[in-house]
Chain A
Amino acid sequence: MAPLDDAKPVATPEEEGTAAPAAGRFLKAIYVYEVPVRVWHWVNALAITVLSVTGYLIANPLPSQPGEASANFLMGYIRFVHFAAAYIFAIGFIGRLYWALVGNHHAKQLFRFPFWDRHWWGELFLEARWYLFLERKPKLYVGHNPLAQFSMFWAIAVGSVFMIVTGFALYSEGAGQGSWQDRLFGWVIPLFGQSMDVHTWHHLGMWAILLFVIVHVYAAVREDIMSRQSIISTMISGVRTFKDAEAPADEAHEQPAKKVARAG
């Protein structure tokens, strides 16, 4: 087998015939997610979980602690964990943004929203129809399908920026006027009206991201079972494997030479 190098199909076109026996099926593996993308995905998943739980508890605190105030620091710890996780979330996001610039083209997909691409919208609706049981077969994708890309762009790329900006604006209230958080993000509070409004929007942002997480986890598990490509293991190993013969819809991006070979 060829080594798993940069986004090259493991099985070359010549090998396909040999790899696919009489049934017309073949197994193919493509390296999709590089190490920084995978590490960021799981760190981010953990950060979102911690941020949501602690964030909810900041708005709806746990029952009162008995004893002297000096002997307790529960709310303080919860807020500390929230802020620490928020820094990891924000720094991770900046790192991920950097990797979108230097990584492979799959790393850029999260930040792209091809609004003017008619073809992309067409495939998005096709994917939506597949989820509504109106299509017999979905298209295969090496990267994200358009529907997934659409929801990730809004919930994670835009959603994270929204949560980081509103979050640091709220944090700046405690950090105080003149702090770097205040100088960079303090303008957000009058923009929304007042601090209470920013709190409300920060909350709604959390719920929007949580709704995405619910759908994301369900879709990933379901695709892993029902579709013809690997999903969950891909985010661990980085390699996408395909279970049958059809060419992925976005395969052209992987190896331009291949299309020519097939045409000929």
Chain B
Amino acid sequence: MLWPRLVRALVGRPLTDQAAAAPQDTVVALGERMAASARVRLGRSLSIREVDSGSCNGCELEVNALANVAYDLERFGLRFVASPRHADVLLVTGPACRNMTEALQRALDCTPEPRWVVAAGDCAVDGGVFKGSYAVEGGVGAVLPVDLLIPGCPPSPAQLLEGLLALIEAEAAPGQK
């Protein structure tokens, strides 16, 4: 039965893991890129639009896992949104496939400023094993201006979370500029 289980879940301990700390040097580096006005507008929350530019779908599995109850992304003010028009962050996975370049560019054009582009996974960082293919431009940086790289094949949810929390921390940090 569903109802007794829901009640038990309400009064019981959460299944969610303890949060990991964001790496400090990444936070400082990102903080420098965030203008004070951006911090005021975003208020310690980020809306993320995930865009797959040609991954093997391994990265999508791990990004989706971020939303499960163990990682519970939303408790940090991070959430996935359905449109780049609602997003502060484009989280891009996969090498920049030539068949996706126009769609990627259009997604960026639809994302309002201030915005950040996060390249997640080894393919997004520099093309990964697909580097040098006739069908691939290279990493996401070959098509979009990238602010943060999260390596890994695929990066685990913990690594993804660490990177995204660094963005939030950078927002909260005092202005560096």
Chains A and B bind each other: no
Q: Enumerate chain B interface residues (CB-CB to A < 8 A).
A: none
